[in-house]
């Protein structure tokens, strides 16, 4: 039976989704598909050779280089599932960007090392391996869908693999022990050239350009014999000696042969996965399916994009400007939170987090953030109560308390797939996802977003489950000709609320002929309307 990676979500039939739900990546032989109980599952074959390779994680890893032949088995929360995938996506997109810029090899190497270090490393080797292996398999599943996606993923993964293998070869001791260990761990069946044969071919081997430079080095170099069709890259560059259909390759040049094998195996795996992706996406329509389908269009920019700074170097978003900017430039999710806060003079925990991190990401300082929330909350409680119950969490959000982490604002996927709000009590979430059709339609009409036809398009995106497209359409109709306005960066609109906000503020500034300073922002008071649902 073939080896499968099974992607499924499991959770208690609960009111609070995220904390109870885990997405599980595991291997299953075909016959084990009948999973009892409420969990519905469908296997996704990802192993190139179809053999059941067991369930160990990264068993073939050697110094960060992995052929990814062993399908992993472990549980991930939905947050980790997305986080790991986006971490790898950043590295792969960096590779693509550097290839486009045609950077010199040394610069390429340095920048790629930095990107790997920033995104795919951890101080704990075990976590690092899990992150690397999980992210590879998640993206493999996400990028198997179309020919274009497969081609893109294959190209970037092969480059990443080669880079790591070259690093391994470079960092190994003089006898390439790291590379030898990797080859041994991954069953590379290379035929070592005996001492006698090496002596017989001594002259010819030493004439190969770029080979050992001294007799001593030649003696210490291990050569391997491989069918020349497996070493075409080396043959075409005349970097190996060929005799009777066999290529004689020094250990250090085995890299290109291994890389070619990796490409073939990954290409096969992607084709296999493509064959069953539809079934998996269908069965996982409410959880992992949409995540996988939208992965290639995910925003991977900075965690806190688009802090809106004034030309005077000050943050444009303050307790004094937030009301007007909410009406003018916030996406629907944040407008809802803002309106909820203004109406109830408080926000529940999830709402404080979603809105607070958004404000922080948009550049609101700790002092202004506290002032704004205090102003609203103290309409129903005393200052002492506010300080006791809420100011700590605001300072925590800004990294001034607890482990002093730098928390980043939520992106759309996190909001869309996070805990849904309790109707009438909570205001977090994404209206395109969490409002029913009737409420959303009423809200769009009330806000006078676009024409009737525009609103129909938005609603049809919502009904199709394309929430982010609905949001992008909202931006498009509220900011006519934004693509041709100088200084408006539309990257991430529909993928990140902060990107939406920043693009909108820049748009209005450009339209009003000013830079993005707090004093020059033209605020259209009263443009937004109360959005009580
Ligand atoms: Fe907010 Fe994103 Fe939903 Fe738009 S798609 S409303 S930015 S969560």
409 lines ligand 1 (CB under 6 A): no
Which residues, at least 6 apart from 320, have a Cβ–Cβ distance to it below 8 Å? none
Q: How far apart are CA 240 and CA 233, in angstroms?
A: 10
500 lines ligand 1 (CB under 6 A): yes
* Structural contact between residues 531 and 336, judged by C-beta atoms closer than 8 angstroms: yes
Q: What is the pLDDT of residue 21?
A: 25
Ligand 1: distance of its center to the CA of 168 in Å? 43
Ligand 1, atom 3: closest residue by C-alpha: 430
Query: How many degrees, rounded to 5, is the angle at CA 138 between CA 72 and CA 163?
Result: 85
Q: How far apart are CA 121 and CA 132, in angstroms?
A: 8
226 lines ligand 1 (CB under 6 A): no
User: What is the sign of the dihedral through the CA atoms of 435, 437, 441 and 442?
Assistant: negative
**Distances, alpha carbon 437 to alpha carbons 434, 442, 461, 470, in Å:** 9, 9, 11, 12
Ligand 1 closest atom vs CA 500: 7
User: Can you give the three-state secondary structure of 383-407, one letter per residue?
Assistant: HHHHHHHHHHHHHHHCCCCCCCCCC
Q: How far apart are CA 388 and CA 196, in angstroms?
A: 82
Residue 127 burial class via C-beta count within 10 angstroms: exposed 0-12, middle 13-18, buried 19 and up: exposed
**Distances, alpha carbon 185 to alpha carbons 125, 166, 211, 305, in Å:** 18, 17, 26, 42
Ligand 1: distance of its center to the CA of 159 in Å? 34
Could you list the pLDDT tens digit for every one of the 533 residues in the chain? 222 343 333 333 333 333 222 333 332 223 222 222 222 233 333 444 434 333 333 333 445 789 998 888 878 887 788 889 989 998 998 887 777 566 789 999 999 999 999 999 888 888 888 899 999 999 999 999 888 789 889 999 999 999 999 888 877 555 677 888 888 888 787 788 999 999 999 999 998 888 888 888 888 888 999 888 888 888 988 889 999 999 999 887 888 889 999 999 999 999 999 988 888 777 776 677 777 877 766 656 544 445 565 545 556 789 999 999 999 999 999 999 999 999 999 999 999 999 999 999 898 989 999 999 999 999 999 999 999 999 999 999 988 887 776 678 898 888 988 889 998 889 999 999 999 999 999 999 999 999 999 999 999 999 988 898 899 999 999 999 998 888 888 877 888 899 899 999 989 888 876 443 343 343 333 322 222 22
Q: What is the pLDDT of residue 297?
A: 61
432 lines ligand 1 (CB under 6 A): yes
Rg of the chain over Cα atoms, rounded to whole angstroms, equals 28
Q: What is the pLDDT of residue 304?
A: 44
Dihedral of CA atoms 272, 278, 284, 286 in degrees, nearest 10, equals 140
- End-to-end CA separation in angstroms for the chain: 54
Q: How far apart are CA 373 and CA 104, in angstroms?
A: 51
Ligand 1: distance of its center to the CA of 468 in Å? 6
Domain ranges for the chain, please list them.
Answer: 186-259, 321-511
Which residues, at least 6 apart from 84, have a Cβ–Cβ distance to it below 8 Å? 76, 131, 134, 135, 138
Ligand 1: distance of its center to the CA of 498 in Å? 9
* Structural contact between residues 101 and 54, judged by C-beta atoms closer than 8 angstroms: no
430 lines ligand 1 (CB under 6 A): yes
Q: Which residues of 374-401 are buried (b: 16+ CB within 10 A; e: fewer)?
A: bebbeeeeeeeebeeebbeebbbbbeee
- Residue to mutate, 290, 432, 501, ligand 1, most ligand atoms under 8 Å from C-beta: 432
Ligand 1, atom 5: closest residue by C-alpha: 468
């Amino acid at each position: 039976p073939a080896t499968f990676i099974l992607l499924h979500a499991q959770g208690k039939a609960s009111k609070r989704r995220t904390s109870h739900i885990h997405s599980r990546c595991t291997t299953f032989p075909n016959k084990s598909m009948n999973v009892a109980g409420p969990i519905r599952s469908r296997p996704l074959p990802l192993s190139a050779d179809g053999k059941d390779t067991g369930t160990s994680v990264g068993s073939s890893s050697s110094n960060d280089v992995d052929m990814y032949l062993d399908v992993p088995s472990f549980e991930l929360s939905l947050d980790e599932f997305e986080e790991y995938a986006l971490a790898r996506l950043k590295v792969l997109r960096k590779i693509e960007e550097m290839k486009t810029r045609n950077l010199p090899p040394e610069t390429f190497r340095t920048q790629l090392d930095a990107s790997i270090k920033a995104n795919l490393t951890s101080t704990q080797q075990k976590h690092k391996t899990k992150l690397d292996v999980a992210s590879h398999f998640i993206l493999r599943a996400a990028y198997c869908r179309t020919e274009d996606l497969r081609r893109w993923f294959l190209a970037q993964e092969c480059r990443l693999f080669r880079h790591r293998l070259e690093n391994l070869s470079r960092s190994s001791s003089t006898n390439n022990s790291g590379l030898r260990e990797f080859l041994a761990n991954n069953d590379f069946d290379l035929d070592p050239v005996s001492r006698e044969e090496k002596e017989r071919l001594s002259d010819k081997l030493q004439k190969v350009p770029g080979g050992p430079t001294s007799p001593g080095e030649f003696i210490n170099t291990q050569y391997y014999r491989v069918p020349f069709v497996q070493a075409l890259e080396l043959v075409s560059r005349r970097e190996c000696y060929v005799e009777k259909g066999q290529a004689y390759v020094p250990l250090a040049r085995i890299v290109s042969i291994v890389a070619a094998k990796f490409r073939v195996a990954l290409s096969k795996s992607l084709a296999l996965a493509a064959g069953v992706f539809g079934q998996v996406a269908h069965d996982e329509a409410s959880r992992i399916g949409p995540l996988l389908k939208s992965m290639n269009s995910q925003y991977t920019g900075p965690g806190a994009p688009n802090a809106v700074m004034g030309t005077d170097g000050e943050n444009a978003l303050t307790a004094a400007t937030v009301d007007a900017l909410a009406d003018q430039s916030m996406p629907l999710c944040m407008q809802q939170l803002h309106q909820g806060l203004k109406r109830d003079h408080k926000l529940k925990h999830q709402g404080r987090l979603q809105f607070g991190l958004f404000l922080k990401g948009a550049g609101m300082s700790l002092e202004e953030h506290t002032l704004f929330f205090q102003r609203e909350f103290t309409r129903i409680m005393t200052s002492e109560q506010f300080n006791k119950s809420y100011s700590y969490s605001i300072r925590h959000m800004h990294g001034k308390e607890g482990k002093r982490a730098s928390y980043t604002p939520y992106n759309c996927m996190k909001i869309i797939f996070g805990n849904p709000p309790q109707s009438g009590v909570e205001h977090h979430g994404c209206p395109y996802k969490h409002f029913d059709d009737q409420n959303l339609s009423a809200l769009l009409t009330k806000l006078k977003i676009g024409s009737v036809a525009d609103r129909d398009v938005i609603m049809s995106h919502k009904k199709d489950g394309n929430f982010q497209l609905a949001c992008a359409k909202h931006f498009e109709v509220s900011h006519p000709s934004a693509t041709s306005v100088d200084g408006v960066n539309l990257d991430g609109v529909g993928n990140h609320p902060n990107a939406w906000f920043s693009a909108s503020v820049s748009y209005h500034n450009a339209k009003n002929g000013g830079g993005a300073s707090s004093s020059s922002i033209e605020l259209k008071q009263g443009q937004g309307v109360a959005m009580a649902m």
